[in-house]
Amino acid sequence: MTLQFLTKRYIPSPEPNTKPELYTMKVLSSLASMKRRHADCQIVKRKGTLYVICKSNPKFKARQGATAGTRLSKKGVK
């Protein structure tokens, strides 16, 4: 009887979903059309890879070209 009382008392209630929304980055061959999707989108070049970043609406993230890690990890590519 006390065990049943304790289990009912100490079961944690489910919490609401507090995780932020995660947006994946699209890989495209042309970023010109992606830049025009939103007024705050900017094209940035980092380490030879072009990125579209949008701070006001992060679902418009995109990149063009392979990252340095994927180019170096392929066999036979130097």
Q: Is residue 50 part of a domain?
A: yes
What average pLDDT score do residues 46-64 get? 85
Q: Is residue 1 part of a domain?
A: no
Q: Is residue 70 part of a domain?
A: no
pLDDT level of residue 58 (50, 70, 90 thresholds): confident
Output the pTM of the full model.
0.50
Q: Is residue 8 part of a domain?
A: no
Task: Provide the residue range defining the domain that includes 59.
Answer: 23-65
pLDDT level of residue 9 (50, 70, 90 thresholds): low
pLDDT level of residue 23 (50, 70, 90 thresholds): low
Domain count, the chain: 1
Nearest to 68 by CA among 51, 47, 54: 47
Q: Is residue 7 part of a domain?
A: no
Q: Is residue 73 part of a domain?
A: no
